[in-house]
Amino acid sequence: MELQHVNVKFFVDGELAVEPVRFIDIFHRWIQDDVMPGLLIDVADYRHVPEGPGVLLVGHEADYCMDCTHGRWGLRYNRKAPLDGTNEDRFAQALASAARACLQMNEDCAAAGGLAFAANELELFINDRAFAPNTAETWAAVEPELRAFFKDRLGHDDFSLTHHADPRARCGATLKTGQAFDLPSLT
């Protein structure tokens, strides 16, 4: 099963202590300074929409988003352009890109005391319902790949993967680890 358009979201640790309006400035600077690889295009401000995409950095290959879906702030990486390679390659690319963006965001929020991301939880889903309709069958096929991937990346299997079972949601899971992960090591 080919799994494209992988999304990874790292959650903000605790309550969001930074005013979301700051993310607008930060994302504009990322464009000016070519902070992320790929083509960065524009910034979209959706802070007025409850539990929405918050502030979005639109790119050609991918978007970066300080996202508040389900009421939890976090940085979400949305891979838009398809990638060659294996599913593992695509998981790795999304995970690494999201982690890199979190580190950068933390650095850019230094003036506001920094922005820490939870080191024991993340979300990964496939933003494509054709490749990955959210069914039990899909999850049965995806879960082993994800487990193997995270075991390799984290260096242990002390984690749980909770499938997002709502059939209307995108196929994905929330990972929670018993041992904190180190963001730089995920990049």
Partner 1 sequence: MLRVWEQASLACQVGEGDMKASTTLWKERLDGKLPQALGDEIDAFESEIELRRQGKVEDKVFAETRLRRGAYGQRYDNGHRHDGKKTRQLAYPKGKNTKGPDTVWDAPGMLRIKIPYGGMNPDQLEVLADLAEEYSDGIAHVTTRQDFQLHFVHLEDTVTLMRRLAAVGITTREACGNSVRNVTGCPYAGVCPDEAFDVTPYARALSKFLLGHPDAQNFGRKFKPTFSGCAQHACGLAAMHDLGYTAVTRTVDGKEERGFTFVVGGGLGAVPHQAKVFDDFLDPKEMLPIAQAIARVFGKHGEKANRSKARMKFLIKKWGLDKFKEEVLAERKSLSDDPCWTEYLEGAEQEQEVPTRPPGAMAAPNGSEKYNRWLQGNIRPQRQVGYFTVAVALPLGDITPNQLRGLADIVREFTPGTIRTTVEQNFIIRWVSGADLPALFAELDAIHLAEPGAGNILDIVACPGTDTCKLGISSSRGLAMELRRRLEEKCYTMDEAVRNLHIKVSGCFNSCGQHHVADIGFYGVGRMINGYQVPHFQVVLGGQWEENAGAFGLPVVAIPSKRIPEALDRITDYYIRMRQKGERFNVFAKRVGKAQIRQLLDDLTGNAPAYDADRNFYSDWYDPREYSTDDVGKGECAGEVVSQYQFAMTDAERMVFDGQLLLESGDVQKAGEHGLSAMLKAAKALVQMRYDDITDDPDEIVEEFKERYYDTQLIFDPFAKGKFATYLFVAHEASGQTFTKDTAHERLEESQLFIEAVHGCYNRMRMAGGSLSEQN
Q: Which range, of 85-93, 111-119, 140-148, 157-165, touches partner 1 by CB under 8 A?
A: 85-93
Residue 84 in contact with partner 1, rule: CB under 8 A: yes
Decide whether 37 or 155 has the Cβ nearer to partner 1.
Answer: 37
Residue 52 in contact with partner 1, rule: CB under 8 A: yes
Residue 56 in contact with partner 1, rule: CB under 8 A: yes
Residue 90 in contact with partner 1, rule: CB under 8 A: yes
Q: Which range, of 10-18, 57-65, 106-114, 156-164, touches partner 1 by CB under 8 A?
A: 57-65
What is the rounded CA–CA span in Å between residue 131 and residue 128?
6
Is the separation of the CB atoms in 11 and 121 below 8 Å? Answer: yes
Q: Which of 17, 96, 154, 161 binds partner 1 (CB under 8 A)?
A: 96
What is the rounded CA–CA span in Å between residue 78 and residue 62?
5
Residue 158 in contact with partner 1, rule: CB under 8 A: no
What is the rounded CA–CA span in Å between residue 74 and residue 16?
9
Residue 38, helix vs strand vs coil: coil
Burial, 19: exposed, middle or buried (Cβ in 10 Å; 0-12, 13-18, 19+)? exposed
- Determine if residue 125 is left, alpha or beta; phi over 0 gives left, psi from -120 to 50 gives alpha, anything else beta: beta
Q: Which of 19, 25, 158, 182 binds partner 1 (CB under 8 A)?
A: 25
Decide whether 128 or 145 has the Cβ nearer to partner 1.
Answer: 128
Residue 50 in contact with partner 1, rule: CB under 8 A: yes
Q: Which long-range contacts (CB under 8 A, 24 or more apart) does 26-29 make?
A: 26/105, 26/108, 26/109, 27/55, 27/56, 27/57, 27/64, 29/108
Which spans of this chain sit near partner 1 (rule: CB under 8 A)?
Answer: 2, 4-5, 21, 24-25, 28, 31-32, 37-39, 41-42, 44-53, 56, 58, 60-61, 63, 65, 67, 69-70, 80-85, 89-90, 92-93, 96-97, 99-100, 127-131, 168, 170, 186-187
